[in-house]
Amino acid sequence: MDAAAEDAKPHYLGHRARLRERFDTGGADAMADYELLELMLFRALPRRDVKPIAKALMARFGSFAEVIAARPERLAEVGGVGEAVIHDFKVVEAAARRLAKGAIKQRQALGSWTDVLAYCRTAMAFAEREEFRILFLDKRNALIADEVQGVGTVDHTPVYPREVIRRALEVGATALVLVHNHPSGDPTPSTADIKLTQEIVAIAKPMGIAIHDHLIVGRAGHASLRALKFI
């Protein structure tokens, strides 16, 4: 290829090649969040300089995880982000959840507590609305089912203790792990969180159902109501 043809090539092609090479040699740890976003954008936007888009996404949402977990309508507000980009992001989000869930499925959940926490954070920590999830366990503490019982607003999800226990009896669970997220990012339990947990424990006990924990996850980490001695 002559010099004139080389000069006519879009400037971002060399950048793409260098970024891919750095990922291949150093992995994700060698890259900033916006650079991982660039790698994802390459496929959906093959003929554009995607660095400005990646940086705009970071500026809007704050981190790689928050970009991937953002609602489609909010992603679409960023210039250059269309249906193809949103589709790719949602596929990655689904894949991350499936991988994290695979670490706890069909095994003793309490024997892999780190995996349980990782799954719950992947599934819920960056959601923009509050969700209440239940992990239903059998007598060996293996996962029977994982269900979202309710999705609410930014700071509240209606949960009915008797419905929680009714569902546990339906699936044959003998133990539960309760999980919900705080979209504010702060996982500190509220008075309402503590009261709800204790109501569920009180109803579950006569039924022979144990409440192993109630985890609250957020961007800033997690809180365990058992560790805090509220259970």
Q: At what angle do helices 161-171 and 191-204 cross, to 10 degrees?
A: 40
User: Strand 210-218 and strand 175-181: pairing?
Assistant: parallel
Same domain, 18 and 69: yes
Long-range CB pairs of 108-115, under 8 A, 24+ apart, other chains included:
108/140, 108/141, 108/142, 109/135, 109/137, 109/141, 109/142, 109/143, 109/177, 110/137, 110/141, 110/212, 111/141
The tens-digit pLDDT sequence of the chain (231 residues) is: 454 444 546 666 688 889 999 999 988 888 999 999 999 999 999 988 999 999 999 999 999 989 998 999 999 999 999 999 999 999 999 998 888 777 676 555 566 788 888 888 888 888 888 999 999 999 988 889 999 998 876 566 788 999 999 999 999 999 999 999 999 989 999 999 999 999 999 999 999 999 999 999 998 899 999 999 999
Q: Is residue 230 part of a domain?
A: no
Q: Find, among 191, 174, 175, 202, the residue nearest to 225 by Cα.
A: 191
What CATH number has the domain bearing residue 181? 3.40.140.10
Domain count within the chain: 2
**In whole angstroms, what is the distance from residue 90 CA to residue 68 CA?**
7
Q: Nearest to residue 159, comparing CAs of 136, 138, 132? A: 132
Q: Which domain holds residue 122?
A: 107-224
Residue 50 domain flag: yes
The model carries a pTM of 0.71
